[in-house]
Amino acid sequence: MPDPRILAHVDTLRLAVKQPFNFRYTLWKPSHFATGLEQHSADTSWRTFRVGELLTGVVMAMEDADTLRAEVYADGAWQEADRDRLTARLTHSYGLDEDISAFVAQAEQVPPMREPLAALAGMRQSCPENLFEIAIISLLLQNATVARTTQMMTNLLDHYGRVVEFDGVTLKAFFTPEEIVGVDEATFRERDRLGYRAKYIGRFAEFFATHDPDVADHADKAELMREFQTIKGVGPYTAAIIASHAVRDPSALGLDVWNRKLLAKRFLGVDDAEADVVMAEMTRLFPGYEGLAGLYVIEDAYRAQAVVELIE
DNA sequence: CTCCAGGGGGGCG
DNA sequence: CGCCCCCATGGA
């Protein structure tokens, strides 16, 4: 692990949020595994972002009910364009300007959803990762336990990522596509323990080296998703993770062994069921919001026992 | 020892 | 298309 790069305070952003907005459960998801890229307390979140060539660290908290304040730290000259780019990234990552009231009205009519809705009121999808970063994470989630996913993620970040220090915290920062395009398959396999995923990760890097991953608010999301699925290693599950997280499609729901059982229990009253049966029930209950509905159930289940707890 | 995990590719009929 | 097999590996 290299010495941390010290970041200097360069900006303060004040971002309007659309009500209902739940700061805590939007920025911190109890189900998310440890990456070292972020840290959360009861009322504050710290997170790193790659903004163009810059390494940035952001400290976020609510200034008042309708305003999220972000203190920005960076490792170089901070231009107006960087401010705009980070503002767009934060707004998109956390869906700050989205109106989820239609989903709430719909979900309130479904009895098994009332408790998650009450506990997580105002929570929305979150994806501080850009398209490239979430693609890497979803690749590591394939057919692996969370412990093994965490191990692979740790290897990649420690070998190709960065370490930064800002506001008294030390966090890891993601690598860019360009920073891993030169790494060969054998290295990913043997040094980073990626297994068969070593065959695919290079394709991801090549794709995003030529398709700017910061352009998450793509002009044509359907076209982006179609193009994305031509990458070897991206199947229905991985594509749904991208659609649901980075593209913020509230209907996209990636069913895996883990959430399939959780949703089967909640909505069908059985320990497990075929994926298409679970999906059909989600569509019957939450047309257009299958993914967001699933998120409420999943995060509620992990609320009492978070994978990564809040710090003091 | 076996089994399986927050899947996906490729071959075959 | 559906079905089958293979992929890799650490933890239970």
Q: A255 is written with which tokens?
A: 């069913």
At residue A193 the predicted structure's pLDDT band, cuts being 50, 70 and 90, is: very high
Distance (Å, whole) CA A82 – CA A14: 15
A151 CA: nearest nucleotide by C1': C10
**How many helices (H) and strands (E) would you count in chain A?**
14, 8
Which value, in Å, is the radius of gyration of the alpha carbons in chain A?
A: 19
pLDDT value for A216 = 56
pLDDT tens per residue across span A216-246: 555 677 787 888 888 999 998 999 999 898 8
Name the closest nucleotide to A139, judged by C1' and CA: B7
Query: For chain B, which bases have at least one atom within 7 A of a protein Cβ?
Result: 4-10
Please write down the HEC assignment for all residues of A54-84.
Answer: EEEEEEEEEEECCEEEEEEEECCCCCHHHHH
Q: In this predicted structure, what is the pLDDT of residue A228?
A: 85
Whole-number distance in Å between A147 CA and C10 C1': 9
> Among chain A residues 127 through 166, which have CB within 7 angstroms of nucleic chain C?
143-145, 147-148, 151
Q: What DSSP letter does each residue of A181-216 carry, written as one string?
A: TT--HHHHHHTS--GGGHHHHHHHHHHHHHS-TT--
Which fold is adopted by the domain A7-99?
Answer: TATA-Binding Protein (3.30.310)
**Tokens found for residue A102:** 């239609």
Read off the pLDDT of residues A231-285 as tens digits, 9 standing for 90 and up.
Answer: 999 998 999 999 898 889 999 999 999 999 999 999 999 999 989 999 999 999 9
pLDDT, tens digit, for every residue of A137-185? Answer: 999 999 999 999 999 999 999 999 999 999 999 999 999 999 999 999 9
User: Can you give the distance from the CA of residue A12 to the C1' of nucleotide C4 in angstroms?
Assistant: 57
Domain ranges in chain A are: 7-99
CA of A222 to C1' of C1 (A): 23
Q: In this predicted structure, what is the pLDDT of residue A10?
A: 98
What Å value separates CA A215 and C1' C12? 42
Taking the CA of residue A217 and the C1' sugar atom of nucleotide C2, their distance in angstroms comes to: 36
| CA A97 distance to own-chain centroid | 17
Q: Are A268 and A244 in contact (CB under 8 A)?
A: no
Per-residue pLDDT, A227? 85
